[in-house]
Amino acid sequence: MFIEKIFKTLSKPEKREFLLFLDRKKRKENRKDIEISKALMSDMVPKVENSNNYHAVRNRIKKELILFIFLKQIENDSTGESELLNEINLCRFLFNNQLEKQAWGYLFKVEKKALKFQNYKGLYATYMLMLEYAYSDEYIPIEETIEKKNKIKNYLDNEEKLIDTLAIVRNKLYQFKVEAKTQSLTSLIDDFKNKIDLNHPSFYQYPKQVCNYLELVRGSLLYNRDVRQLEPIALDLYNKTLEQGSFTKHNLAYKIKILYLLCHALYRNYKFKECLVYLNEIESNLDQAKQNHLAHYYAKIASLKSSISFLSNNIDEAIVTLETFFETKHKINTKDDLNLKLSLLTYYAYNKEYRKANRFFIQMHHSNGWYKKLMGQEWVFKKNAIEMLLQFEMGKDDIALNRINAIIKNNRELTNLNQYKDVIYFLKLFKKYIEDPTSITANDLLNVSDGKTVKSADNEIKKTAFYSWFMAKVQNKDPYEVLMTFLKEPNI
């Protein structure tokens, strides 16, 4: 299935390009590899006469596909890393063939290019090669080269420590996301902070380092359900890096990621106007750069913009934003596709377009286990909760009750987490409401099981939306109007 999965990631132009790539060596009709590739690209079963020959052709397609992807990566590599490594290998070839003069001339060009691209792995490899062959040219400043090499090595060591710590944080976040396992990250983050100097200007000269650090902090805050604290940190990191003049077209990917994390922090804090300003800046950068590997940010921009419209009393605009995005057929990965569809069907449900919303659920034909592995347990929880509400709105009370029972049964491990205690509490209340609508009053919804008000500042936007919808049912009001009133007057 390796080949089929890779083909699914290619756009139509890329598929055509690969078929031409296959045909580059031996141009002739009735090529088996091209015939089989076309079938696999179309999700069809290829006609097979000889199984041994078929597997041989598949292996050939696989090798060509790997080479094609490698060349596309070089073509789309805005960091210049692939090109630099190739040029360093060329320099080594020239040295090995006693073409020292040409080798040194090219190697100095590689050094300049590595500095321009801020490619420090390539720069370190360049200095190592210079020192290896320094004996061949008496004018090479060895001490100066060693000093440069050590400076870069120090940066790479810090980057390595940051990546190691980030890997641990991501792993723990994944465990929490999929299995609801919790462990403390405080000591891990504090230990790393003690090893770097955030007040030193040099820290902000490397956008990649700043981006990784911001992701590390965000991961820790997400894990501790304290993500609202991210905004001032993200804003400070971005502004200081911008003031240093460290952002260039060669590290645009890190600039956009920092900006996106900042936008998400502003969104979480309900600062929608500020968020839109930075979202437009991301979009402008993407439009100017036209780099394919950054195209997935268009889905993230559409998601945030639609959510802002939804929470700003403009549900029609929220729906149009996502419908338009799907119509433009942007290249989108499965996770972003599922997240956007879950958002869109939520907007349909709030807009009382229940049939449209239900169509999306019908399209989600995979098992909960499949979605849990791909999206995590929290996402599955939200999907099932939204489906339960939709079934209730469509008058299918018995199905809604079954969904509630299944949600509570399949998410017992979440009930031990503080952030889910009130959600489970509401689900149990809602079950009681379905069985007897007169048994629940507005006062029953004002407090959750641990005594905190549901309208406290640490609640997530999705949780707020669910609370407002439930309150609307109890008060016999329009759910979207109740949500808008709640957002304007959170202390009512």
pLDDT tens sequence across 375-402: 888 888 889 888 898 999 898 989 999 9
Mean pLDDT of 304-330: 92
Mean per-residue pLDDT of the chain:
82
Point out which residues pair with 220 in neighbouring strands: none
The tokens for 465 are 């939306």
For residue 231, pLDDT beyond 80: yes
Q: Between 319 and 32, where is the model more confident?
A: 319
The residue ranges of DSSP E strands in 217-289, in sequence order, are none
Q: Domain ranges for the chain, please list them.
A: 2-76, 81-140, 382-488
Q: CA nearest 382: which of 349, 413, 342?
A: 342
C-alpha distances (whole Å) from 413 to each of 172, 176, 407, 416, 458 are 16, 11, 11, 6, 21
Mean pLDDT of 466-472: 84
- Listed in sequence order, the DSSP H helices in 23-50 are 32-41
The residue ranges of DSSP E strands in 357-434, in sequence order, are none
For residue 457, pLDDT beyond 50: no
341, 362 in Cβ contact below 8 A? Answer: no
Q: What pLDDT score does 418 carry? A: 60
Residue 227: count of CB within 10 angstroms of its CB: 20
Residue 66 to residue 159: CA distance in whole angstroms: 29
Contacts of 219 (CB under 8 A, 6+ apart): 166, 169, 170, 173, 185
Q: How many CA atoms lie within 13 A of 324 on its CB side?
A: 12
| pTM score over 0.75 | no
Q: What is the DSSP letter of 49?
A: S
Q: Which residue type occupies 397?
A: D
For residue 453, pLDDT beyond 50: no
Q: Between 294 and 323, where is the model more confident?
A: 323
